[in-house]
Chains A and B, each alone.
Chain A
């Protein structure tokens, strides 16, 4: 079934911050999912800013129950639809806290049971709704209010949990990562996940201007830099095999780090070469694992050097 992507099913007028990545994610996700969708959302930024009673931004049937149970609620909806012989698709949306941490049990259960639903994690890499606390999705060295950089801390001490690998290990038929900075990629992957039967997982990198510390007009730029530096890899995995990877002309990680206040302590008062090198090594490892580097067939020819004319020569 072709989804009419001209429809705006996530309405304007909600209460998200300026430049909110998750709000853009929700808009694009619903464009791709289409009208014949029932959405279950976990507690979090998206739920709070989109549903302040008596207003709602959701133009599809939508339910929010609790923080950690969205995947279980989705399981129940899917079972009910099946029993009633209905055609709607079930889409579950949670933030990284709801997905990587507190709701992990319910997601694992739903995927193991093989419900026909799509789970989308909008990943803004911390608990933003409660005021920027670290989650299992917070990257190494990011400053948050519970992983603050300080005299004896360089911020978050652990790398991001590999959630796509965990869900792929459940036997999910389709697992993908995408970013709001690549709208077409995002919509294609969501559409694909909705088409594929069984539990599918899509992780959407969704920069948070407020939590990461950048100007609200830089969301797309920051999102792109995460991908271009190799710190967030866009890939598609079908039945356990990586089938598609977004290749990039890789930039050094500091181009991404230095535009965000959450990494400012890596540059001021002095550059922390050790930590920047650790993060660069992670990007290099990602590049090696997924093969994201664009390899030119032949080295670029150097432009013919003009003889340097000496002044006054």
Chain B
């Protein structure tokens, strides 16, 4: 059913239909509308779940960890500082192969304090063993939750997943969103069947101590699971397309790519603006296209290389910065294109909610065509 709703509400409704049994979250802007909506559902018995109102994000994710280990489907949502407070349990959940889904309402990180959007928070957790999906709009943000649970709980994967969508830009924006019927979601996402669980009838030990002769194999196993997730994401995406008519099986999405000489690469809501800018540039006869990364972990290196075979140059718009190096996405795109001869230029954009408009996209395309890149775009005058 098509509804005109706020992004956070669309996500909360999608989460409700995933039937989480334990929800634990801590309020943080701009995630709050999601967890408030879920609390209201629990209070009104439209969602049958335990809602643990914890004293910190650290406990929120730790409580989810315990719940999943005990065999329940768990959910949390956070952003920015909250995600950083979860840094330790994030790695721990993935290492223990405990599946769950967490929504990230992407926000800049302190200092200075900022509640506005960039993607530094979740990008900084890229090495944690969580799958990461980035939504362009609220329809996708909602839908990716069904997919994320499906893949996360697959016994060939068993890795937690983050569904990332831009704080305020999406979380607080009203858009028409098609919400499937509960029966459709139930048909797609069956009850959670844990691979192992804490059970007095079958006692096992979780989270043991590993000496050097075992540790590496555990980490290898997590990486192997991430590799297996590639196929599972494709399958789950196709399966979902069959159920709700929207296809998220591809890790990357092209826009006006076919004859594009300059290809912009980005993640999240920025891609909507880029598409509009490309339409204008195309109107002026410029061969510009977009490659949007939806699945960032596992990283779609091969898909990116395959999609860019005709490109003369690539401009990556990074809403993050690996300080002392470059934008994280740009670095990995370079790795994917190594040996292809396609130059990759990186642009740090939109940190802390700095707006990027269509004319900025055109200017970045200009810079890329001139071979000027690897810079912070749009700094205040006199700073650079």
Which residues of chain A have a CB within 8 Å of any CB of chain B? 35-38, 40, 47-48, 51-54, 56, 58-66, 68-69, 72-84, 88, 105-106, 108-110, 112-113
Say yes or no: is B315 at the interface (Cβ < 8 Å to chain A). Answer: no
Q: Among B54, B72, B96, point to the contact of A72 (Cβ < 8 A).
A: B54
Minimum distance in angstroms from B48 CB to a CB of chain A: 8
Complex CA distance for A110 and B55, rounded to whole angstroms:
9
Minimum distance in angstroms from A162 CB to a CB of chain B: 21
Minimum distance in angstroms from A278 CB to a CB of chain B: 36
Known: A60-B203, A83-B72. 11 other contacts (CB 8 A): A38-B70, A52-B209, A65-B66, A68-B58, A73-B65, A75-B62, A76-B66, A77-B198, A80-B50, A109-B59, A113-B54
Which residues in chain B, 54-113, are within 8 Å of chain A measured between CB atoms?
54-56, 58-60, 62-72, 74, 88-89, 92, 96
Say yes or no: is B210 at the interface (Cβ < 8 Å to chain A). Answer: yes
Minimum distance in angstroms from A108 CB to a CB of chain B: 7
Minimum distance in angstroms from B304 CB to a CB of chain A: 35
Minimum distance in angstroms from A23 CB to a CB of chain B: 15
Q: How many A-B residue pairs have CB under 8 A?
A: 161
Q: Among B56, B92, B96, B198, point to the contact of A109 (Cβ < 8 A).
A: B56
> Cβ of B55 and Cβ of A108 under 8 Å apart?
yes
Q: Mark B163-190, 1 if CB is under 8 A from A, else 0.
A: 0000000000000000000000000000
Complex CA distance for A183 and B97, rounded to whole angstroms:
38
Say yes or no: is B331 at the interface (Cβ < 8 Å to chain A). Answer: no
Say yes or no: is B195 at the interface (Cβ < 8 Å to chain A). Answer: no
Complex CA distance for A269 and B191, rounded to whole angstroms:
69
> Cβ of B72 and Cβ of A84 under 8 Å apart?
yes
Which residues in chain B, 184-228, are within 8 Å of chain A measured between CB atoms?
198-200, 202-211, 214
Minimum distance in angstroms from A17 CB to a CB of chain B: 16
A54 surroundings in chain B (CB, below 8 A) = 208, 214
> Cβ of A83 and Cβ of B50 under 8 Å apart?
yes
Residue of B nearest to A106 (CB): B59
A73 surroundings in chain B (CB, below 8 A) = 62-63, 65-66, 69
Complex CA distance for A68 and B203, rounded to whole angstroms:
24
Minimum distance in angstroms from A193 CB to a CB of chain B: 18
Say yes or no: is B52 at the interface (Cβ < 8 Å to chain A). Answer: yes
B38 surroundings in chain A (CB, below 8 A) = none
Q: Among B21, B205, B214, point to the contact of A80 (Cβ < 8 A).
A: B21
> Cβ of A81 and Cβ of B58 under 8 Å apart?
no
Complex CA distance for A62 and B203, rounded to whole angstroms:
7
Minimum distance in angstroms from B242 CB to a CB of chain A: 31
Complex CA distance for A108 and B53, rounded to whole angstroms:
13
> Cβ of B52 and Cβ of A113 under 8 Å apart?
yes
Say yes or no: is B49 at the interface (Cβ < 8 Å to chain A). Answer: yes
Q: Assuming A51-B208, A53-B209, A109-B54, is B62 touching A77 (CB within 8 A)?
A: no
> Cβ of A36 and Cβ of B21 under 8 Å apart?
no
B60 surroundings in chain A (CB, below 8 A) = 72
Residue among B55, B70, B198, B210 facing the most chain A CB atoms (10 A cut-off): B70
A83 surroundings in chain B (CB, below 8 A) = 21-22, 49-50, 72
Complex CA distance for A292 and B89, rounded to whole angstroms:
43
Residue of A nearest to B64 (CB): A76
Minimum distance in angstroms from A64 CB to a CB of chain B: 4
Q: Among B24, B69, B92, B208, point to the contact of A66 (Cβ < 8 A).
A: B92
B59 surroundings in chain A (CB, below 8 A) = 69, 72, 75, 105-106, 109-110
Q: Assuming A61-B198, A83-B50, A105-B58, is B211 touching A52 (CB within 8 A)?
A: yes
Residue of B nearest to A108 (CB): B55
B70 surroundings in chain A (CB, below 8 A) = 38, 76-77, 80-81, 84
B206 surroundings in chain A (CB, below 8 A) = 62-64
> Cβ of B72 and Cβ of A65 under 8 Å apart?
no
Q: Among A60, A69, A112, point to the contact of B62 (Cβ < 8 A).
A: A69
B208 surroundings in chain A (CB, below 8 A) = 51-54, 56, 64
> Cβ of A65 and Cβ of B22 under 8 Å apart?
no
> Cβ of B67 and Cβ of A36 under 8 Å apart?
no
Complex CA distance for A68 and B85, rounded to whole angstroms:
12
Minimum distance in angstroms from A91 CB to a CB of chain B: 11
Minimum distance in angstroms from B28 CB to a CB of chain A: 16
> Cβ of A65 and Cβ of B200 under 8 Å apart?
no
Complex CA distance for A270 and B76, rounded to whole angstroms:
59
Residue of B nearest to A75 (CB): B63
A64 surroundings in chain B (CB, below 8 A) = 206-209
Q: Among A59, A61, A76, A84, point to the contact of B52 (Cβ < 8 A).
A: A76
Q: Among A47, A78, A84, point to the contact of B209 (Cβ < 8 A).
A: A47
> Cβ of A35 and Cβ of B200 under 8 Å apart?
yes
B50 surroundings in chain A (CB, below 8 A) = 79-80, 82-83
> Cβ of B64 and Cβ of A61 under 8 Å apart?
no
Minimum distance in angstroms from A81 CB to a CB of chain B: 6
Complex CA distance for A60 and B199, rounded to whole angstroms:
8
Minimum distance in angstroms from B318 CB to a CB of chain A: 31
Q: Among B62, B64, B200, B207, point to the contact of A106 (Cβ < 8 A).
A: B62
> Cβ of A66 and Cβ of B62 under 8 Å apart?
yes
Residue of A nearest to B26 (CB): A109
Residue of A nearest to B98 (CB): A65
Q: Among B22, B53, B205, point to the contact of A76 (Cβ < 8 A).
A: B22
Complex CA distance for A177 and B180, rounded to whole angstroms:
55
> Cβ of A48 and Cβ of B55 under 8 Å apart?
no
> Cβ of B49 and Cβ of A105 under 8 Å apart?
no
Q: Assuming A80-B72, A83-B72, A106-B58, is B66 touching A75 (CB within 8 A)?
A: yes
> Cβ of A61 and Cβ of B204 under 8 Å apart?
yes
Complex CA distance for A79 and B55, rounded to whole angstroms:
16
> Cβ of B72 and Cβ of A62 under 8 Å apart?
no
Q: Nearest 8 CB-CB pairs, A to B? A: A76-B66, A72-B62, A76-B63, A109-B55, A69-B62, A80-B70, A80-B72, A73-B66
Query: What would 15 A/B residue contacts be, using CB atoms closer than 8 Å?
Result: A35-B200, A37-B200, A60-B200, A62-B198, A62-B204, A65-B66, A69-B62, A69-B65, A73-B63, A73-B66, A76-B22, A80-B66, A82-B50, A84-B70, A112-B55
